Structure formats: C-alpha cells, structure tokens
Structure 1
C-alpha cells in the first residue's frame, strides 16, 4: 500500500484521508519527510547565485511537504484520539524532530542567506512588497531567537537542550493524561451524586460502563475546578473530586510530574542564557506583542490586588448566605446558592435550554451567518479521525471557504481541555484551502439522550469557534504566515471576541430553547444572565491570575535560581504568596504539575496571553456595541481588517486599522469589576 502521506490527499479540500492511515505509515513518513526537507534546504544553500527572496525564501516555504502532512495528522491523533503506539512513537520522535528543526534553523549557510536578504530589504524598502518584507523579518527574527547566530559550541549545547526539552514536554503530557484517567472518581451510591441533572448522571454512568465499572465515574477536566462542583449537594463527593483534580502529577509513582517540571525549567533557563537572555520568559516575550516580562508583570500585578479584594468580598458574601466558612471544593456550590438568591438565577437549571445541536446550529453558526454571511452544510460523506467527528463545509457569498471539523465529546484517549487546530492552512503559494478543527470535552450521555450543555460549555463552544473563524478566514500568500500563526499573546483575541455572541440577545433568543418543548428561554431569565455576568469575577480573575503568575514565576528563573528550586509545591506556594493571591479556598486554575498549557502545550511563559488579549477583546466588544452589534457591515470590517490578515502583518497594526486607535484597558477593568 502506498503511504498516504507521500502525496496530497485526493479528498475535497485536501482533507487528510484518516481512514487510509495505518500505524506503520507514521514512522516511514516522518523518516522520509525529514530527509526530504534536509535535501531541499541543502539545495537552497548550495545555490551559487546571490541570495534573494525567490531563490531562498520561496523554496524554504515550499519545503517539508511530507513532514507537514504526517505531523498534522499524527499530532491531531496524539491529542484527540491517542493510542499506546502513538504515545510511544511520540516520545521517540520528540528529540528527533527537535534535532531536525535545529538542523534547519541553526544552519549557518541558510542563516547567512536570510541575513543578507534581511539587510537588503532594510536598505531598500522597494525591493519587496509588504507581505514579503514581513515574512523575511519573521524568518530572520525566529532564526536569531533560535540561536542561528551562536558559535558552534553553543549551538551543539543548544541542540542537546532542545532535544531534552522536547522529550520532557512529551512525557509531561503523557503522565497527565494517564493520571487524569486514573484519578477519575468512581461512585457506586447514586445518593453521592445528588444534584446532578439526568444528563450528567447518564454521562457519568456511560463513563463507568466504558471502563467496565458499575455505578458512575466522574472524569476530571483539565482545570482545577470541575463544572459539577456547582451542583453536587454532597460535600464529601465535592471534596473527593477536588482532591483528585489537585493530586494530578504530584502523587509519586509513574505519573508524577514534579521532577519533569524541575528539569524542564532548568533546561529552559540554560537555553535562555545561551541565547543571551536572563530567563526563558525574556526569550518568549521578545517575540510577542508584550515585548518583555516587565510589560507582562505590569499588567498582572495591576490586576492582582483588586482581584484579591473582590474575591475576599465574594467569600464573605458566600459565608454569610451559607452560614459556614468556604473551602475550595465548596466555593462553586455556595456561589450557585448566592447567584440564585441575588439574581433569581440557577445556571445549572438552564441546561435543558442549551441542547448541544441547537447551540451549534442556532447559536454558533447563526451568529457567524449574521456577521459574515456563512452557511454550513454537513458532509456525512467525509470522515475525521474518529467516528464522532463531524465535518461541515463552510461557504459564503463568494463560494467555498473551507471545512470545519467538530469533535465534541470526551473520551479516555483525548487530552483534557478544548482547542482548535488547522489541518490545512490557506495560502496562495501552495494553493491550499482552509480546514480547521475544534475539540471539546463534553461528557457523552447514554444513547438516545440529549446532550445538554452547561453555560460554561456553551461559552467554550463559542470561544473555540472564534479560533476556527480566524483559521477559516486567514488569507496569506506564504505558508509560514498562514492560518492562526500570529503572536501567542494575540491568538486568543478573535476567540474571546466571539464569546460575546453567546449572550447577545438576538443570538441567545435563537438557540436557548427547551429541548423538549421548544419553549424559548424567558426574556427575564436571559436578562438576569447578562446582569450576572460580573458575578464571581473576583474568584475567576484570581484563579486565572494565579496560573498566569505561576507561569511567569517558573519561567522568570535564571540558571542559578532554577537550580536552587528543589520542591515544586513550596515554590508554587511562595510565588502565589508574593503576588498576594495565596488562598486555600481559591486554588490556581492550573497548578504546576497539571499545567499542560505551559509544560507541554506551547504556552510556556505565555499563559498571560489570555488576559493580555482580553484587553483588545473587551475594547472590540465595546466597538461592536457602539456600532450596531450583530450585522454584516461590522462583521465584514472585523473579518477584512483583522481575521483575514493572518500572520501577514503586525497584529497590533491590524487592530489599530480596525479600531482606529490602540486598545484601552478600561473596558477590561469594567468587565471584570476591577475599575
């Protein structure tokens, strides 16, 4: 059988032919893909002609086609539907792929050519057009930050560190997945689950049955706080779930992540010093819109004190209503009681109005249709990586836009959280269209029962589809600038903006209908939902800031400081205390040993990105409200001036083009009650 990765897929939109892929195809394609790309790069550096854009940058952009195809499919599966074979191969491949990457970005002859093109472009602005000039700038910056200008001895050490770091991050993710599955809370007495809705009970029963267990199984989510903590009436059950969540990666044994974290932090600090920086955070932020750890610290430390004050006020109110002190496992349940008293609002009771298919079709897709003129047609003839994956063809007034794949449900083979990927990124050079994916982790109910979402899951669906829209609309000439390949602290901006439509009156009224009766959500309830949006922001901001500050604390260590840290829990406690956010009742959204974003997910020293992007997001939401909200004119402006630009220009310049000025922080402070 011909390896399916050796040529472009014959399926519509170049959709990978997942059904044709066998385990034995991966290693063969990785081997050939890496070998072919090195030959392609060698041909570039062997060219005797003076380096220019056409003989250096263009062939570099074309290189690595097989490697791109196999890596896209392999890492989609490793995240969304992994197997023991994939996990073992992933650990084997990690150092090899790191070495392959280094063989290109540390190639002295290649860097000399790109450096010459970069200098020429600076001396003669007319030599290249704007997108070409920006691509050269990006290539040059990335190679410098990767170590291309270092001496041979430093490059050799850098290669060793990169390979070790890639191995450690891969192991971290594997440990976390295994420990998350192992720590799922098994219950055999239904009374211990009192307070859960029928659909949630069904999902827990289905999860137990899938493992051959009697009773019910509460599988863990990636964040510390489980969504069911707000409704479970049994405090012992709540405490068991919270304890299991917080125990991930720190129990000793085969799944422990503490030593991995310490070694990873030390390796990143040493790499930063080799590159001429004090610490890893300085390396990362040097190539983000923030520019420096100091800029990040200025924002986070400005927000931390009012967030802590608001959380203290919320705690006092919860204690007054419940008549008892508030623990971490009780906070969400107490907050639900206060929300009911203050706003006459029980968000858990709203789940019958949030049936997943209606939220998708009449909420998420409806808002995109009103804004951008999009239509969605399900392609049941096309298959994703799993039979649960749904494939939609997306079109607008001008014709086809691309494919959108949705993988909604949780399973043991899928990592926690929610995310978006590009399977194919639209670019003119290779003639590629757009294929984007969304993965969520919604518990699957028993066959024949409806999937009823929590309010948080509704907002997550809108959030991830914001990423999908960014990927679908992004239009670049060159692959390196295609899709959502923008600065990490900008990439969350489009997705956070799209969350606004979940509570927009016109959208909410369209999808929030009772799954049995079709009755619309009462207008008074809808208004109380919007009135309550700021309720609990002290807690939510504090738990987020704790995680963001932890990330900065770990990656702000220099070599000597990193070597001196020997206890993960003590370091974490001290870092939170320094920030004034240490609080037993408000644990970090992610603690160190299960902080996948920064120890295996590419957000290292970048978890601040969510609130950094939220400054832009909140200001953009204000713009929409000032200019008529959900209409095609506004949608087209947002699409053409921001989403469509992909990575072809400075994203803050694109924001200024859209907004007419730099972003103001005041809308964010108002939204989170921090002004």
Structure 2
C-alpha cells in the first residue's frame, strides 16, 4: 500500500505541490500512520546518540525530522478546512487524538528535553549565529511550556487532556459547519430580498439550487455575527431572520449544540494551565506572546472599550433619529444597524457603499489591485499556472518570481464559499520554505465570497476587497520569510504579531495609483470617481464605535472564558448568562451592538488557534497603524520601502523576536496614537 500511496512519495509537481488528482481520502490515515512512525524513529535516533548534546547532533537533526509528517499534515489540513466532505470530516475526527498523542510524545520526550536543555545551558559558550541561538531558545521555551519538565504522572494526565481537547475542538468546528449550513435562510420570493443587487440575487438563487430548492433563494451565513446583506435589505423581517439565524448557531439544543462542548474545552484548558504551573489558560498563552500577561491585554482592551462604547452610543442615536423620521418608527435593533448606518452614511457623506460593487470586479481587484501593489512594492510578478492542479476546481494556482527573475513560490487562491468550506477567511501553507531542507513556499488564501451563476461577474463588497488584501498580506509573509530552519518558516511567529503584516497590506487599498488601477466599473471601465474616493476617506472613522465595540466584545469574551481558574471553570456555568455578565463588566453589553462572535460559534478560540489570543488583531493594529504612518512619511509605495519592510520584517519569519524586528524596521517601539486616530478614539 505504501508503494501506491502518493502521499508517501515526493510530488513531481513544481515546488513540491501535492498532486491532489492522485490523492483520495483513503490515502490519508495510512500516510499519517507511516509519518508518525518515521518521525518517532528520527527523534529516537537523536536521543540514542551517546556523545554529549551539541547544536549539530541535536538541534539540526531535530529540524530535519518530521518532514514527511509535516508534508502529509499540511496537505490534509488544507483540504479539511477548505473542502471538508463527509469522508474528510470522518478522517479529521479520527486523526485529532492521534495527532495530539504524537505531538505530546515528541514535545514531552524527557531525553530529547534533556539534550535541548543541556545545549541551552551552554548557549553563551557556543559559536552560534543569531538564528541558531534563537532556535535553541525557542525549542527550550516551547518544550518547557508544553510540560516536558513534568513528572511522569503529570505528563500522563497532560497527554490525556491534550487528546480530549483535540477531539473537542474538532467537534466544535464540525458542529458549527453543520449548523451554519442548516441555518441558511431560505426565501420564497425575490421581493423578500429587495435591495440586493442582481449578482447577489444570482448567488442566492444558485445557493438554493445547490440545495435542491429550485425557484427559491438561500442566504448562506458568514462566520461572524452580522452579514453583508444586512446593509441593503429593505425588508426588516428578512434582516431579522438572517441575524437571528446567525446568532442561534450552536445553541439550538440539537445535535449540533456547542454549549456543552465549549464548557468542557474551557474546563480542560484551565486544568491544563494549572498542571503546567499557570493560574489560568490566558496566563499560560500570553506568557509566550509579545503581550506577556493577561493584565497587559486587559489594560489595552479596557483603554479602548470606554471610548468605543461611547462612540457607539452616539452612532446609535444618529440611527434612531433616522428611524424616527419614517412613517412607522420603532426602536433600533441589532438587525437594523447596518441598514440605517448606510442611510446615515448617505446623508452625512453622500456615500452608498453597496453601490460601489460594480467598481470591484474580483478578477480586476486581484490582478490590478492586490498583485499590482505587490509588484510595485516588492518587484514580484505573477503567472497563473493552470497546469498545476489544486485541491478543488475553484482554487487557482499562481507562480511568483522575484524582481531578478528567480522563482519565489506558489500562491493558491480559493475565493468562493461552499458548504464544505469552513467560514471566514484565512491563509495556510502547503509547503514551507527552509534552506536546510531546500524547499520553497506554497501558500493558500481562502475567502468565502458567494459564487454567482456562470457567466455573471463576481462583484465584491468593499469589506471583501479589504479581506482579499488582508489575507494576501499573510500570504506575502509566508512567501517572503527566508529562514534556514523550518521551525521559523513563514508565519510561525507569536500569535499576537501574526496579524501585523496582513493589516499593513490593507493600506494599499486606497493608495491612489493602486485604487485607480483596480477600481474600474465592470461595464464601462470608468475609474471610481474622485469625489466618491474623497467621501470614502471622509467616512473612514464613521461607524468605528460599532466596529471597534463588536470586536472588543469578542476579544473580551475570549479573555473572560480563559481567565477562569480551574475551580471556576469546573463550576456550573450558563453560557448566555456568562456572556452577558462578561460584556457588562467592560461596558460592551449594548443589545444593538452584538459581539462579533458569540461563544457557540467563536471558531477562532474554540476550534482555531486564537484561544486567549483574539486580542491579537487590535494588539497588532498598534504596530500596523504606526507602520502605515512610517510609509506615509517615507514616500509610500516605493521599492526602497518595500525592500526594507521585506528584509527587516517579513523576511525574518519567526527567526527573531518580532518586537526586535519591528524596532529594527521602525527605529523605535510602536506608538498607539496612530491607532487611536484611525479608529476615531483619540479624543
């Protein structure tokens, strides 16, 4: 079987791209089993060495080990998040505890830990370069934090906790995907969707047809609480149905209910933190992030919450004033906010964001916006490779070359939503760069844009344009990181730093020559009028009270769950009551401004990698806003600026402390003032 399994042989495609045309679901588990065994043999060979530990006989072979497992895992997890068929979900469910057990077997290996600890103790006496020294420090720190120094009984309990948590987080994601699909809102007539564009109606009709509901319209849900259509739907009941469906996900008392799942996750994470010597899971997580402690996180969130909540109340009053002028007045509710926000925006700024979509045709945004900015800034070029198959027909492959013509890597774009794809948008790697292994990067961007009927252009909202630029910032980080050791490849940096490069890339959306290049009317080719651009800029801080409040509410909710100690987490908790109490504590309990994610569909923290770390978006935005100011002060979109940002920040990957890398780029620590100004919170 090994001879017939394509996952157990090097790919013949460029850049080591897996040949998904040869891979079937039946190949994955046998490949993982062989990869686990191979990795275990490689680590055993390190620990059997009789001579004293050195960098060369311990750290180098450790970095060489696990290559097959990494290749198989990245190949599988790309599919399990973007095309999770029933067969793939079943594999994922079986695999979760196996992967956890294997990772623990490596991370908790006492002999391996002793060897790394011995090298770490001799660090100042060793002749190592900066990356090698940092590699020793990180391996020692990570194994210590993982529990490698615990006694055998504690390790046994830790392993059991990790395996159970891996199963629960997988269950949470599976439940959320199923409930999100089940709760797609079906409408019987197009009149109920009055206000949507022809393209949006086409996407809704196609979504219904895909469910066997010909002649109807289905609105699929986004990962976050709100929905882009809420800003334009004129029928209030339709808006209510969509938001109600979104907010009930994972809490309906059916087989997809996530409340019991998330409570057990919280409880086990708290127990694990205590076992590892930390008071809470939040303390455990932030101890190895740039924040350093929950107190630092709470300080930032509270500092922003007060002015954000205040601004949201001003915005609410403005919306209510609009409603009160209508024939039938009513108190503003959450499902009304986006719709009346656009009315206020139109009144104050004469700006209709929904009407901008004809200027944001997806292909042009990609090629003349996202790619153009990267070419102007970094000199890289893009060539679509239709001869290299991806994991799904909708996923497109592009080869990227540096300015000198040298090959850089592959970029895969998977734009459209489907029932087998998890919600949200993300970047991941299929192949990681490493000079030690001689590999070049293959990175993926996933979005969830509704797919229109064949022959209909894909028109993006301004938010979707922002997401495309944002995720490509992650892709650039993964492509540009040039490191020796795979441990530092791509976006393997602190969680509360990882969003920084992607947020910086959003600045090019409105850069004049880039905007003029991509924002062209789909039918006439006319550029977005200058007066409209001016109105967009004038409205940049508009509705930031809402936007900041809904984000901070989710970040605070994450911190609240993960600031429970083991005893509190094990007590009987009502999820809805806990949420209400937590948001009240920080003044973010305004019913018209719901949290961006409620607990039962908060995938970032209960099935993703952001537990006790959702704050990282705003934490990174401090650096981002300060960096945008630097670009503005230094000439903006120039190759010199791009080369500096690439070499001193993106290019180092995880091979340096990220704040040291930032200081090297900026010449000082970041200032919070540009962020406060950007979000209208400075006063």
Normalised-by-shorter TM-score class: over 0.9
Task: Specify the alignment match of 1:381 in structure 2.
Answer: 387
Return the alpha-carbon distance in structure 2 between the equivalents of residues 362 and 397 of structure 1: 18
| Corresponding position: 1:504 with 2:511 | yes
Alpha-carbon deviation of 1:91? Answer: 1.1
1:146-175 superposed Cα distances (whole Å, 9 cap, x missing partner) = 000111111110011000000000000000
Return the alpha-carbon distance in structure 2 between the equivalents of residues 383 and 376 of structure 1: 17
Task: Specify the alignment match of 1:464 in structure 2.
Answer: 471
Task: Specify the alignment match of 2:230 in structure 1.
Answer: 229
Return the alpha-carbon distance in structure 2 between the equivalents of residues 20 and 55 of structure 1: 37
1:443-501 superposed Cα distances (whole Å, 9 cap, x missing partner) = 00000000000000000000000000111100110000111100000000000000111
Once the two structures are overlaid, the 10-residue window that deviates more, 388-397 or 165-174, is 388-397
Matches within 5 A, 1:537-576: 537-576=544-583
| Corresponding position: 1:110 with 2:116 | no
Alpha-carbon deviation of 1:225? Answer: 0.5
Matches within 5 A, 1:227-626: 227-323=228-324, 324-398=330-404, 399-626=406-633
Task: Specify the alignment match of 1:152 in structure 2.
Answer: 152
Change (3 A) 1:635 1:157: same
| Corresponding position: 1:5 with 2:12 | no
1:209-229 superposed Cα distances (whole Å, 9 cap, x missing partner) = 111103100000000000100
1:62-97 superposed Cα distances (whole Å, 9 cap, x missing partner) = 111221111111111110001111111111111111
Alpha-carbon deviation of 1:2? Answer: 2.1
Task: Specify the alignment match of 1:72 in structure 2.
Answer: 74
Task: Specify the alignment match of 1:22 in structure 2.
Answer: 24
1:158-197 superposed Cα distances (whole Å, 9 cap, x missing partner) = 0110000000000000000000000000001111000000
Return the alpha-carbon distance in structure 2 between the equivalents of residues 337 and 166 of structure 1: 45
1:376-417 superposed Cα distances (whole Å, 9 cap, x missing partner) = 100011111001110001112221111100000000000000
Once the two structures are overlaid, the 10-residue window that deviates more, 53-62 or 270-279, is 53-62
SS in 2 for 1:422: strand
Return the alpha-carbon distance in structure 2 between the equivalents of residues 92 and 304 of structure 1: 42
Return the alpha-carbon distance in structure 2 between the equivalents of residues 554 and 358 of structure 1: 43
User: Structure 1: 5+ residue runs without aligned partners?
Assistant: none
Return the alpha-carbon distance in structure 2 between the equivalents of residues 239 and 540 of structure 1: 19
Return the alpha-carbon distance in structure 2 between the equivalents of residues 86 and 388 of structure 1: 18
Q: TM-score, normalised by structure 2?
A: 0.98
RMSD of equivalent CA atoms: 0.8
Once the two structures are overlaid, the 10-residue window that deviates more, 502-511 or 380-389, is 502-511
Contact 1:269 1:562 in 2 (8 A): yes
Return the alpha-carbon distance in structure 2 between the equivalents of residues 507 and 565 of structure 1: 54
Return the alpha-carbon distance in structure 1 between the equivalents of residues 364 and 541 of structure 2: 26
Alpha-carbon deviation of 1:340? Answer: 0.5
Alpha-carbon deviation of 1:253? Answer: 1.3
| Equivalences, count | 673
Alpha-carbon deviation of 1:6? Answer: 1.3
SS in 2 for 1:330: helix
Task: Specify the alignment match of 2:162 in structure 1.
Answer: 162
Return the alpha-carbon distance in structure 2 between the equivalents of residues 663 and 320 of structure 1: 39
Alpha-carbon deviation of 1:425? Answer: 1.3
Q: TM-score, normalised by structure 1?
A: 0.99
| Corresponding position: 1:138 with 2:138 | yes
Alpha-carbon deviation of 1:127? Answer: 2.4
Question: Post-superposition, which runs of at least 4 consecutive aligned residues in structure 1 deviate over 2 A?
Answer: none
Return the alpha-carbon distance in structure 1 between the equivalents of residues 152 and 233 of structure 2: 60
Return the alpha-carbon distance in structure 2 between the equivalents of residues 424 and 627 of structure 1: 35
Return the alpha-carbon distance in structure 2 between the equivalents of residues 522 and 463 of structure 1: 24
SS in 1 for 2:254: coil
User: Structure 2: 5+ residue runs without aligned partners?
Assistant: 325-329
Once the two structures are overlaid, the 10-residue window that deviates more, 337-346 or 391-400, is 391-400
Alpha-carbon deviation of 1:8? Answer: 2.1
SS in 2 for 1:19: coil
Alpha-carbon deviation of 1:504? Answer: 1.5
Task: Specify the alignment match of 2:327 in structure 1.
Answer: none
Contact 1:78 1:87 in 2 (8 A): yes
Return the alpha-carbon distance in structure 2 between the equivalents of residues 400 and 41 of structure 1: 33
SS in 2 for 1:605: coil
Contact 1:7 1:66 in 2 (8 A): no
Task: Specify the alignment match of 1:34 in structure 2.
Answer: 36
Contact 1:565 1:571 in 2 (8 A): no
Return the alpha-carbon distance in structure 1 between the equivalents of residues 67 and 483 of structure 2: 17
SS in 2 for 1:461: helix
Task: Specify the alignment match of 2:121 in structure 1.
Answer: 119
Once the two structures are overlaid, the 10-residue window that deviates more, 582-591 or 320-329, is 320-329
SS in 2 for 1:250: coil
